[in-house]
């Protein structure tokens, strides 16, 4: 049997430890540092801080981890499925679709909720599902719709949606316009655990589904025809992947807004850490995505306290340069997935 | 040799409205070595892909080991038939060992990791393909000949009885061509595998096959023993070109030599 380099073997345990550590530490960090004694019932910490900790910081950290893990996992699935370094649900227009849904909701002054889920989330969810269906439809349109064409279509769809959003913003009043802009930046501002419990099954089940098809993802990375000849039912696998990722990404975007970059970047970094095999890559990517987002959120909460920076801004500001550095540093082809 | 590994009747296939295969019928005896030859664009690769269900053709009958192709689940099909595509593992982000392990896909179940049986099969496949020393290499760093061996090893790991190969020697130097041909012959003779190999190398087809199928314009224009391919006007009709023939110094088979162009 081939033994791998010790670095690769250590990467996953290291990520697990880092993720656990940040899950535990981040809720204590913020505008108002909270002492560890908050965990005991002794009453050493006053009630308001206790509420901040349990009703704001902890749920916010949970939702950050869920969203980061889910976005990263779906990015990984799309990169494998389309054999392309740039293919993620977001680059293929999902963020645009979700944002358009949310903008429409705000612009027309709608105000409703369904089963305790806010209308803006429902509109964003529908927008995300709509754009993933569009992508899926395009891939099914005719035999051999190339990935390059698909990416171009995704760019076109994104541009089209963002023009519509600009139009909506332009014709909105000031308050609506600001609300739309703020939504577009993404954020994890939640109170209590309702949203966490809404999102957990969506993300959890989707990741489990992805875990069930890791052998297929490996083969699809190598090539669709080879995958078929090895016995993969590619049509079925793609169908499963599209359903799982739409539900996952749709749910996350509905709750947190379009938080960019994690889906693109996390899988690439983890490929460098643990290699291209998806059995290992999927958990690594989930851990890294979750970890990255809660760290970004902690920065968002503290960097210019008492004000907050939208977390979507932080992920891109931090992630962008880091990713470019990685691209430059890594020898050609080192990102281990085709750039075509 | 009695039972047919492949039985094809009336197979047609169109890609984007263009008819590539037109009403093809042939059979391949179990345990035989069959070469498929023909000019570029004759439909040789398409034929392999239809047998594999990478492409979906229409047919009166396609039977693989006595069972209708349509009745196979894709993973089941992969257990009886392995496929070695034309080149192209340069973009594969895996170690050679991991790549060959992917040949075990039809034997794996969704949530489990490869078992000891799978690892043993992969090692055996690498050994048989003469690629044991490549196991720890990144696929992207392999040379053309090494790549071909890994592709064959991956198909071997599938433990299928039928091998479909698409121009397995095309981009290889003479030494590596011989390696691959010897490997295929050994699989055929020692392991009883059925080999169906698409090739442009007429001489290799003559020297290694029991049977040759010639395609032209999506139709079977010849099926018979290699001796019949190089006698008469079969080749001239197939390629619209005259050929010179010589006798092989060892086994006396008729081979073609290139035309003297100057």
- Label residue B216 by pLDDT band (50, 70, 90): very high
Q: What is the CATH number of domain B4-257?
A: 3.40.50.300
Task: Give the per-residue pLDDT at B88.
Answer: 60
Does residue A2 register a pLDDT over 60? no
Domain regions of chain B by residue span: 4-257
Percent above pLDDT 70 for chain A: 88
Q: For residue B16, what pLDDT is reported?
A: 81
- pLDDT (tens digit per residue) in A55-78: 888 999 999 999 999 999 999 998
Average the pLDDT over B62-86 and give the result.
Answer: 91
Query: Half-sphere exposure (CA, 13 Å, Cβ side) for B25?
Result: 5
pLDDT of residue A286: 96
Residue of A nearest to B56 (CA): A143
Q: By the 8 A CB rule, do A130 and A97 touch?
A: yes
pLDDT at B90: 62
ipTM above 0.85, yes or no: yes
What pLDDT does B143 receive? 85
Per-residue pLDDT at A5: 62
Helix (H) or strand (E) holding A27: none
Look up tokens 């993969």; give the residue.
A232
Residues of chain B with pLDDT > 90, as a percent, come to: 44
Higher-confidence position of B180 and A8: B180
pLDDT of residue A199: 87
Grouping H, G, I as helix, E, B as strand and the rest as coil, residue B4 is strand
Surface of B (192-221) touching A: CB under 8 A = none
Q: Quote the pLDDT of residue B162.
A: 93
* B186, B10 contact by CB (below 8 A): no
What's the mean pLDDT in A68-97? 86
Q: How many CB pairs under 8 A join A and B?
A: 88
- Cβ neighbours of residue A170 closer than 8 Å, sequence gap 6 or more: none
Confidence at residue A334, expressed as pLDDT on a 0 to 100 scale: 47
Q: What is the mean pLDDT of chain A?
A: 82
Reported as a pLDDT band with limits 50, 70 and 90, residue A290 is very high
- Closest by alpha carbon to A156, among A126, A125, A131? A131
Mind listing the pLDDT tens digit for each residue in B162-206? 999 999 888 788 888 888 899 999 999 988 899 999 998 899 999
Q: Residue range B226-243: average pLDDT?
A: 87
Query: Measured between beta carbons, which residues in chain B are less than 8 angstroms from residue A226?
Result: 83, 85
pLDDT in tens, A38-49: 777 666 667 788
Cβ distance of A230 and B158 shorter than 8 Å: yes
Helices (H), chain B: 44-52, 74-80, 96-101, 116-128, 144-157, 174-190, 202-208, 226-229, 234-239
Q: By percentage, how much of chain A surpasses pLDDT 90?
A: 23
Hey, which CATH number is domain A67-329, 3.40.50.720, 1.10.3470.10, 3.50.50.60, 3.40.50.1370? 1.10.3470.10
pLDDT in tens, A138-186: 777 765 566 677 778 888 888 888 888 888 888 888 888 887 887 777 7
| CB spacing of B79 vs A231 below 8 angstroms | yes
Q: Which of residues 96-135 of B touch A (CB under 8 A)?
A: 97-99, 102-103, 105-106, 108, 110-111, 113, 119, 123, 135
What pLDDT, on the 0 to 100 scale, is given for residue A340?
34
Residues of A in contact with B99 (CB under 8 A): 222
pLDDT of the residue at A339: 39
Q: Which residues of A touch B89 (CB under 8 A)?
A: 222
pLDDT exceeds 60 at position A333 = no
Q: What's residue B240's pLDDT?
A: 87
Q: In what order do the strands lie in the sheet with B61-64?
A: B18-29, B4-15, B61-64, B67-68
Separation of alpha carbons A159 and A102, rounded Å:
16
């Amino acid at each position: 049997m081939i033994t791998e380099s010790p670095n690769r073997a250590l990467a996953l345990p290291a990520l697990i430890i880092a993720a656990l550590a940040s899950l535990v530490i981040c809720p204590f960090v913020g505008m108002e540092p909270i002492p560890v004694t908050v965990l005991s019932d002794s009453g050493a910490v006053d009630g308001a801080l206790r509420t901040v900790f349990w009703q704001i910081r902890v749920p916010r950290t949970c939702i950050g981890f869920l969203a980061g893990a889910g976005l990263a996992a779906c990015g990984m699935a799309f990169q494998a499925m389309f054999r392309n370094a740039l293919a993620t649900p977001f680059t293929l227009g999902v963020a645009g679709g979700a944002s358009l849904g949310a903008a429409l909701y705000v612009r027309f002054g709608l105000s409703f909720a369904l089963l305790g889920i806010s209308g803006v989330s429902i509109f964003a969810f529908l927008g995300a599902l709509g754009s993933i269906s569009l992508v899926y439809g395009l891939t099914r349109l005719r035999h051999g719709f190339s990935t390059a064409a698909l990416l171009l279509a995704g760019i076109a769809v994104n541009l089209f949606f963002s023009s519509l959003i600009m139009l909506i913003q332009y014709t909105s009043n000031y308050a609506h316009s600001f609300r739309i802009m703020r939504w577009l930046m993404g954020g994890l501002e939640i109170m209590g655990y309702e949203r966490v419990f809404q999102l957990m099954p969506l993300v959890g089940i989707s990741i489990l589904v992805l875990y069930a098809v890791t052998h297929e993802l490996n083969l699809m990375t190598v090539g669709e025809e080879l995958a078929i000849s090895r016995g993969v039912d590619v049509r079925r696998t793609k169908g499963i992947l599209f359903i799982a990722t739409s539900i996952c990404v749709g749910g996350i975007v509905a709750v947190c807004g379009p938080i960019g970059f994690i889906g693109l970047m996390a899988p690439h970094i983890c490929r460098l850490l643990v290699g291209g095999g998806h059995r290992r890559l999927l958990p690594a990517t989930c851990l890294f995505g979750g970890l990255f987002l809660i760290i970004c959120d902690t920065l968002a909460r503290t960097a210019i306290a008492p004000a907050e920076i939208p977390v979507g801004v932080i992920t891109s500001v931090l992630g962008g340069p880091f990713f470019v550095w990685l691209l430059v540093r890594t020898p050609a082809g080192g990102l281990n997935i085709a750039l075509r | 040799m009695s039972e047919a590994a492949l039985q094809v009747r009336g197979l047609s296939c169109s890609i984007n409205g263009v008819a590539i295969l037109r009403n093809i019928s042939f059979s391949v005896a179990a345990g035989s070595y069959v070469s498929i030859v023909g000019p570029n664009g004759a439909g040789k690769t398409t034929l392999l892909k239809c047998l594999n269900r990478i492409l979906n053709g229409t047919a009166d009958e396609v039977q693989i080991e006595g069972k209708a192709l349509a009745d196979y689940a894709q993973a089941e099909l992969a257990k009886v038939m392995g496929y070695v595509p034309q080149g192209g593992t340069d973009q594969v982000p895996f170690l050679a060992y991991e790549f060959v392990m992917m040949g075990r896909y039809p034997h794996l179940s969704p949530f489990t990791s490869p078992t000891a049986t799978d690892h043993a099969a992969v090692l055996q496949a690498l050994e048989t393909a003469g690629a044991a020393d490549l196991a720890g290499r990144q696929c992207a760093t392999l040379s053309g000949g090494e790549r071909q061996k890994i592709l064959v090893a991956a198909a071997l790991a599938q433990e299928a009885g039928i091998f479909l190969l698409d121009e397995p020697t095309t981009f290889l130097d003479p030494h590596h061509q011989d390696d691959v041909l010897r490997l295929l012959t050994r699989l055929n003779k020692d392991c009883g595998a059925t080999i169906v190999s698409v090739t442009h190398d007429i001489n290799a087809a003559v020297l290694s096959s029991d049977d040759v199928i010639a395609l032209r314009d999506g139709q079977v224009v010849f099926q018979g023993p290699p001796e019949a391919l190089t006698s008469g006007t079969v080749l001239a009709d197939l390629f619209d070109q005259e050929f010179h023939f010589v006798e092989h110094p060892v086994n006396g088979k008729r081979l073609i030599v290139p035309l003297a162009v100057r």
